[in-house]
């Protein structure tokens, strides 16, 4: 089977998981906002399918959820989340797939850099969109929204995503080490 068909199918699965997962945490909005359930399938898509698929799923996911269920609200949340999640999928997939070694260390490095870049994109997008609406977006609001309120979700991602990738490696479905030929594809 062609690799692109497999990646497209897996991307659709990650998109579906991203649409459904917030229902498990969204019953209590304060907890759902802290656990960041849509982030996990986007990171996994970037790592497993590659950066183009991770970026596409990341961009589309919050917009689909907003149009289908009204959550997150389209302005500014879904718009800024689309850019943030797109950055996660893009950076995580790009760094991990270009890494010389595919191991837990490169996975964590890619994950942490993608988290920082995605949160920076979210902050800039919030500042611009809220600025158009005549509202302010201070550095304190950025720190609270991007880091302090998100600590449980960040911890969950740092534990859960590598655990899934290690489990997939042990089953042989997604091996950590790739040959030079597989990296070019």
**Is residue 28 predicted with pLDDT exceeding 50?**
yes
Q: What would the mean pLDDT of 148-156 be, rounded to a whole number?
A: 86
Sorting pLDDT into bands at 50, 70 and 90, what band is 107?
Answer: very high
In whole angstroms, how far apart are CA 151 and each of 48, 147, 154? 25, 6, 5
Maximal C-alpha separation, the chain: 52
Question: Which residues, 6+ apart, have CB-to-CB distance to 47 below 8 Å?
Answer: 54, 92, 93, 96, 107, 110, 161, 165
- Report pLDDT digits (tens) over 129-149: 887 767 777 777 777 777 777
What is the set of domains in the chain, with CATH numbers?
3-184 (1.10.1760.20)
- Report pLDDT digits (tens) over 46-76: 999 999 999 999 999 999 999 999 888 998 8
């Amino acid at each position: 089977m062609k690799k692109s068909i497999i990646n497209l199918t897996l991307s659709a699965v990650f998109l579906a998981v991203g649409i459904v997962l917030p229902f498990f945490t969204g019953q209590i909005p304060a907890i759902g906002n802290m656990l960041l359930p849509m982030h996990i399938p986007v990171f996994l898509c970037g790592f497993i399918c590659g950066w183009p698929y991770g970026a596409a799923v990341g961009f589309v996911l919050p917009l689909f959820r907003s149009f289908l269920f009204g959550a997150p609200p389209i302005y500014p949340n879904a718009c800024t989340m689309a850019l943030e999640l797109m950055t996660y999928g893009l950076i995580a997939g790009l760094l991990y797939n270009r890494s010389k070694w595919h191991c837990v260390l490169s996975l964590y490095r890619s994950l942490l850099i993608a988290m920082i870049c995605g949160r920076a994109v979210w902050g800039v997008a919030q500042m611009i969109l809220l600025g158009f609406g005549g509202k302010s977006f201070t550095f304190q609001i950025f720190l609270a929204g991007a880091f302090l309120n998100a600590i449980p979700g960040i911890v969950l991602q740092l534990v859960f995503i590598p655990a899934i990738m290690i489990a997939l490696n042990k089953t042989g479905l997604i091996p950590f080490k790739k040959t030079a030929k597989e990296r070019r594809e």
